[in-house]
Amino acid sequence: MTLASLTSPDGYFEDFEPGQVIRHARGKTVEALENVLITNLVMNTAQGHFNEHAMQASRFGRRITFGGVTASLVIGLAAQDTAEQALAELGLDKIRFAAPVFHGDTLYAYTEVLDKAESERIDAGIVRFRHWGVNQDDKIVFEGERATLIKRRQPWADR
Amino acid sequence: MAHDFALRAKLKARGNRYEDFEIGRTFDHHWGRTITAGDNMLFTTLTLHYNPLYFNLDYARAHGHPDLVVNPMLVFSIVFGLSVEDLSEGGGAFLGVEELSFHQPVYPSETLTARSIVLSKRPSASDASVGIVTWHTQGFNGKSEQVVDFKRTNLINKRSASR
């Protein structure tokens, strides 16, 4: 078993072209399993994410999903295609939550390759992506940029 | 018919309001949080984040890491979570994050703490009951090294609008 055989044959630095847009293969329905579990796991104390009774009296009428969960799921849905060969996540920027996400909503992810740059390492380069998350009605719920240090084929595809 | 104890109880409120956020005010957030291998595995698999650095120990070691790498989105979410009571539990939508940097890897058994400073505040043009506040939040490991930092902006209820 080689290292490279554990991951996809693509997704290396050379495989990304600025302007390329990817529709990722899978969606995920957000339930309490994701929202309440992760909200509580990371000790986000805002009960709007986990007190259904209190939220019935709000303008939303029900619990809303923590933005950190929405962001993590959308980036997760994009991860096999944009992070599987990542050596490190460098940063995020321009993160926006355009609409609330409720339990039962299904999220899908899209990614545009913004640009590519050399890094301090000869075996990897920096790729900047823009990600979008949309719900089952095609409404944008998440948008943001992400910079990632991604392996070059040489030497990584042969290891 | 109200319970006797409920009639005697006073609400122990949590969270701050718009008026509490003077520019430059700093918050050393409560608790800290040790990240376990279980946290990382659960979070990474639940969010479908298929980079083996976060869930295949042999793979992580082959890349020079001493242990599994903690998923950076979990690092961000925990640092954010620790900041919520001080910053945003007082209500209002989470609008966005700018200029987030991951500074170094985090490994299981490391303990994260969080600190924030108020960067800016302004009243909402469309809703007199809320304001818009931006903070700079930093997350640290047990050696007080910065592992993540970001700017976060929220709508925040004014005290007069508190429920």
Q: What does the pLDDT read at residue B90?
A: 83
Q: Is B108 on the interface with A (CB under 8 A)?
A: no
Q: What does the pLDDT read at residue B83?
A: 98
Both tokens assigned to B36: 């376990």
Answer whether residue A12 shows pLDDT above 70.
yes
pLDDT tens track for A42-95: 999 999 999 999 999 999 999 999 999 999 999 999 999 999 999 999 999 999
**CATH class of the region B19-82+94-161:** alpha beta
Q: Which chain B residues are within 8 Å of A26, Cβ to Cβ?
A: 48
pLDDT tens track for B105-130: 999 999 999 999 999 999 999 999 99
Distance from CA of A34 to the nearest CA of B (A): 7
End-to-end CA, chain A:
10
Answer whether residue B76 shows pLDDT above 70.
yes
Domain residue ranges in chain B: 19-82+94-161
The rounded percent of chain A whose pLDDT value lies above 90 is 99
pLDDT tens track for B32-59: 999 999 999 999 999 999 999 999 999 9
CA A92 to chain centre: 10
Answer whether residue A133 shows pLDDT above 60.
yes
Q: What does the pLDDT read at residue B107?
A: 98
Inter-residue contact B108 to B32 (CB < 8 Å): no
User: Which domains are seen in chain A, by residue range?
Assistant: 4-29+66-156 (3.10.129.10)
Tell me the mean pLDDT in the region A6-25.
98
Distance, CA of A61 to CA of B158 (rounded, Å)? 21
**Full-model pTM:** 0.97
Of the candidate ranges A100-104, B12-16, B24-28, B62-66, the one whose mean pLDDT is the lowest: B12-16
pLDDT tens track for B86-109: 999 987 889 999 999 999 999 999
Q: Which chain B residues are within 8 Å of A41, Cβ to Cβ?
A: 39, 42-43
Please indicate whether, in this complex, the C-beta atoms of A76 and B49 are within 8 angstroms of each other: yes
Q: Is B84 on the interface with A (CB under 8 A)?
A: yes
Q: What does the pLDDT read at residue B137?
A: 98
Please indicate whether, in this complex, the C-beta atoms of B50 and A37 are within 8 angstroms of each other: no
Distance from CA of B71 to the nearest CA of A (A): 9
Please indicate whether, in this complex, the C-beta atoms of B49 and A46 are within 8 angstroms of each other: no
Contacts of A111 (CB under 8 A, 6+ apart): A21, A22, A24, A78, A81, A82, A129, A130, A131, A132
Output the DSSP codes for A134-155: E-TT--EEEEEEEEEEEE-HHH
pLDDT tens track for A60-73: 999 999 999 999 99
Answer whether residue B161 shows pLDDT above 90.
no
Tell me the mean pLDDT in the region A126-134.
98
Please indicate whether, in this complex, the C-beta atoms of B51 and A96 are within 8 angstroms of each other: no
